Every structure is written in C-alpha cells, then in structure tokens.
Structure 1
Amino acid sequence: MGWVNIGRCRLAWWIGFAIALLGMASGNSLSALAQVHPAAPAQQPGGGDPVLTQRPPPKLKTLLIPEGRIKLDVMVNDAAGKAVVGLEPWDFKILDNGQPRKVMSFRAFNDAEVKPDPPVEVILVIDMVNLAFQQVAVTRQEISQFLEQDGGHLKVPVRLLLLTDAGMRVQPRSSIDGNALLSVVKQIKGGVRTIDSAMGGEALLERFQRCSRQVTAIAENEARVPGRKLLIWVGPGWPMLNRPELGYYSARDQQSYFDGIVELSNRLREARMVVYSVAPYIGADTTFNIRYQDYLKPVKSARESDPGDLSLKVLATQTGGKILGPDNDIVSQINKCIVDANDFYRISFDPPAAEHADEYHDLKVVVAKPGVTVRTNTGYYNELPGH
C-alpha cells in the first residue's frame, strides 16, 4: 500500500513535470509560428462567427518568356476605328508567306490599365524641305495649337525634329510639357526653299535623297533606344521618283535602292517605329496623294526596286501607320495618330531559316473577331545566320 501510494505521487509528479516542459516547448513553438502565420480570425463578442480580416493579395511573379526573333506591335480596331482591347494570344494568327507561325510571346497594352514602359514616344517631324511657302504659316499655327491642348499637358512624350535645307534640327529630349515645346515651333519661319534655287527646278532627286537619308538616320538612332515610337511626318512627303524622271537607271542604281529598302525596313521594325503621314492642303490635284499605291508591291529583288518604294506613304502603309489629310486641320490629324500610342499588342515569332540574304517574307496577322482591322508590319527581310 505504501509503495503504491508513493508510486502514484511520483507518477503524478513526473506527469506534472512533463506537462510543464511541454507547455514551455509548445509556447516557444507557438510563439515562433505566430511570427510566420497571421493571427487566427478574431472571435466576435458572445462567441459568434469569426470576423474575416483583409489580407493583401499575393505578389505574382513576372514570367520571363523568351521572345521570337521577329517582334511585332499590332493594333486592332473595330469598324468605328476604336481600339479593340482584351484579346488573348489564341485570338491571333500569324501568317508568314501564307504559312502559320507559332506565337512565341504575347503582351497586351491599353491606355486604361497596362501602359507600356518605357512610355510610347511621339517624334514629330516638321518637313520644311517639302512644304510650300504658303503652307508653312498654317503648319506652324496648327502645331502650336496641338501643343497648347489641355493647357499644354500632352498625353504622351513628344520630341520635335525640324527638317530644313540646312539639315535636321533635333530636340534632345522628349517632353509632355507642350508649352515648353512651343519655343522650338516659334523658330519656324517661312521662306523660299534654297535647295530649289541651288539645284534648279524642283530639285526632285536632291529632295528625295535628303529626306530618305534622314528617315534612315532617325530609324538607326531609334533602334538603339528601347520602347515604341510613333514617327509623325508633317508635310506632303518627298518626291516619288521613277525611272523616267531619273533618266538612265543602271543595275548598280537598282541594287543601291534595294539595299536602302532592306536597310530601312529592318531598322524601322527594330526601332519599333510606326510611320504616319500628316499633310496640309496642297490644292485640287490629287495625283500626288494616290500615286504611292503603285509602290505598295513587295520588293523581293534589286530588279524590282524603285525610289518610289521609299516614299513616305509607302513607309506608313508598310509599318501599320496611317495616311491622313490633306487638309489644314493638322491638329485633328496628329490626334488621330496619337490614339494608337498605348492600345496595342506585342507579339513575336521565329522565322524559318533563310535560303539567301535579304529574303522577303510577306506578313499578315489575323484576329479571330468579326469586323476588325489589324495593322502591323506588312513584311520583313529574313537574313542568313550571322547577318
């Protein structure tokens, strides 16, 4: 009996000691867990249902998807011209020379929710080389009104480039302060084109060379800068030369023009640059306005090249831009270009292996929605490895 009683006391003591140790250990564990896990839902007074507490949404990791070699910015509009947003990767079909290509990467941007980073930049070129004397004052006034909209608060960054007979004057940085940009516009003065008096006649070849070189230089510089750009060219465009106007047209000339076409096409795409033609009123003659359509054919070899293939409206069509005017409401024309800035899709694909250098491929992007218009690059030049 005595042993039993003593054993029970010892047993009770050991049990109590063990419980105390477990309590200390569990207290430490619970304290550690409390640092990792949020507190349990609070109980309502009177033992009611627990009160739900708000937790911050989990941070989603950004998945880095390798892009394909050919990258495209695609704009989709409905029948009224409004941007179509909310499309998914499976809504797009890429046709390369009529053959479907796999969409390697996809990103959707829209002005309301997901804006591109860096912001889309507008490069506004004022072409004094091809503007007639009577058009200069109207153009200067209209661009000033554009910059003064909404108190000078521009929707997108704008950079001004002024093309004169003396060359291109470039504003170093873009700005969303339209009032600050007005000082550049005030420097524009009307005058007779000195390039005409120096070269004689209309100086068609000189004006063509001056402008085509400047467009290529802009594209080369912007290809080094990340982000998407809208190149809005204010002016009627440069002369669309053809063989009769040039006189003798050698195989060497054709190869030179073809090389220029390939180079400019590649640089514009790499620079993510969309070209827009904004034109003031030029008179009743509409021949100049529609003549560019003769040069929209794909240029697959040097034998098919013409200087007209490098004209402004051809570049606008091939890059997915717009051709606006001619009229003297230049403010409205520029605004119609800028609505394309932030509503677009970025997709990419891998081209097939090229069989030869400067191999032209026709491009078409189809969207599985009725009544929509799709604008993007209409073609590209596939290159051999290492080129």
Structure 2
Amino acid sequence: MASSTLTAPVMQKGIHGWNPCARISSNARVNSHRTLNCPLSMSTVRKPHFFRAHPASINPPHVSASQRYSLDTKKFPVSCAGKFQLDDVIESQQFDTDILNGIFEVAFEMEKIEKNSPGSNILKGYLMATLFYEPSTRTRLSFESAMKRLGGEVLTTENAREFSSAAKGETLEDTIRTVEGYSDIIILRHFEGGAAKRAASTATIPVINAGDGPGQHPTQALLDVYTIKREIGRLDGISLGLVGDLANGRTVRSLAYLIAKYKKVKIYFVAPDVVKMKDDIKDYLTSMGVEWEESSDLLEVASKCDVVYQTRIQKERFGERIALYEAARGKYIVDKKVLDVLPKHAVIMHPLPRLDEITVDVDSDPRAAYFRQAKNGLYIRMALLKLLLLGW
C-alpha cells in the first residue's frame, strides 16, 4: 500500500471561527483541545431561554419589566454540539445576532454566580495571560476578575511595552508563541492596529482583542450593546449619538460595526472636525442600510436619541499636535443642559476613563449609565472566557 499522509477532520483555527470542513495533516501540531469528535448532533446543545427576569436593584427605574431582556429565542448556528462558533474575538464583524443573543444569555447567567457556588469553579485549572502594551484599568481588571470569579488563574503583564522582552526588540509573534506555552487563553491590548489579528494568526490558543491602537475593541462593543439592551429594553429601532473622538476611538468604531447588525438603527456623529468619524465606518453603515447623520449640535442630537455615547478626546493619539488636541478637547460636553433635553427613557454611556467631557453633576441622574456599563463588562468577559474555553 502506498504511503500517504493521513488526514482527519478537525477544527482549523481562523479569526472568523472554526471550519468543520477543514482537513489538516495528522502529522501537523494540533493542540489536543482543538481536535474534536463532531457527530453534528444538536441534542446536547444548550438552547438559550434568554432573559427571564432581573434583580430590581440593578434595573434602571425608567425601563419597564416588559422591556427588559426580551430577546427572541433562536437556535444557534453551531456546527458541533456545544462548541462556540468563534475561536478568537478580534473584531465586531465576526458576530451575528444569533451569536450575540447567545453571548448575552451567558452573560446574564454569569451575574448569578456567587462565591463558592458550583459555577465559580468552571475554569479551575485554566490559565489566562493578559498582555497589555497600553495602559488599562477597566479592561484588564475586569478580565482578570472574570477569570478568577470562574476559578481560573491569571498571568499578567501590566505594561508589556516597557516591562517585557518587547523592550529588547522581541516581535509580537515571538511573544505570542512563548506565552501560549504558559497559558490557555491570551488577552491582548496593543498600540498597533491589526496587532490582534497578527497574534490570532500566530497562536494555537484563543486570543481576545482588548484594543489594538486605533483599530477595534470588540469586547467593549459587546458590553456596550448588552448595556443598551438592558437599559433601553431593545436594540432594533434605536437612535444612537456617538460623540467626541470618533476618528481615534476604537470603541465607537467597534460599536458602529456591531449595532449595524440590528434593524432600523439611526446613528448621529457629533465630533470636532479634527476627529470626525472616518469614511470606512460611514461606508460600512451605508452598505448595511444604516441611516447616519453628522451634526455639530449636541443638544439637538441628544433630544432625539435613546443613547448618547460620549467619548474623551484621546491626547495620546495626537503626538506633538498639542494645539489640535486643545482645540478639540472640551467642544462637546455632556452636562445639565444635555440632561434637560435628553428623553426620560434615554441613557448616557461612556467607555471611560472620562476627563471633563461629562460633568460630575450628571453622575447622580438615573440616566447616567456609564458605571453600570463598566460593571457589565465583567459579565460579558466572564461569558467570553467560558465560551472560548468550554463552549456553550
């Protein structure tokens, strides 16, 4: 019998999900957790029942009980029983509404996990590595908290740009190949756009993009959409005002990609000239049939919106162009005047940190959702860790 390279059907890694039809050589290196027996049986797939109720203490007072968490139940488009459709989380374009609904269901379940409960140990024995080449408070700490709340352990580098071998000239690819030998999943924040894609194409374990320069921040977009659903009670038919640094803000870019998946959405862009939303996002929204409009009048936009999403002007993206930064900073401020015209059901969101673009007297208004938004990041990231490491 002639010798030949045996092949076996396995899941092959790519940033847009696992390909059940792919075949790779059996003598290739494949992590044991990547090789699956795939009977294509749907009998063991957990069907989402979606949001049943929510503790009144967390619900914003202006959303009725009938509005909260009423997502349509749909069968997930999974190709193998229990397997999450994505192997990495790199960009918002990876998701469809079925996957989003499933993630939100798991996130809601994560809110119920208490210390020392069975669910608090589902990731026991797993190690997460956080590689942050840029500063972070909420993203890094919420990922680390998420892992520990599920029983896992964390290997962390708070400033990998300065305190890792990157300072000696090591490439990102070599760092990823090294770190994946110590961990089961990598959370990466990097100062270069496209870095997360490069890491995902190198790694044989899951990679989550925690922000790549001016590129994307998909987990922020996920928690933003989850927060909108919780606060407003719907995602279809909303009006969203994106305010501030829209040129450099990876959060607004990712949110625009994600919210475009819903029906009859209207987006307003309010930004200083130097940081207006880039054409690639506008073109994408147009191609998706999403209505958008640019405006210089924040009060007028706020009076029409369900969500005002404020962002800070990012000084670190301006380099030596300090005069341009100073001209842009402070042009659009969410204050009591904005609250006066904002609809009673609407909310104000912000990815944080803030400087002076939302005045502190806004914090006490029940429509100020940004700290609730930040807390939702914990549950979304718990859900993603569970799904990427264990599946549905």
Question: Relative contact order (C-alpha < 8 Å, sep 6+): which is higher?
Answer: 1
User: One fold, TM greater than 0.5?
Assistant: no
TM-score, L = length of structure 1? 0.27
What TM-score does the superposition give when structure 2 sets the normalisation length? 0.26
Higher strand share: 1
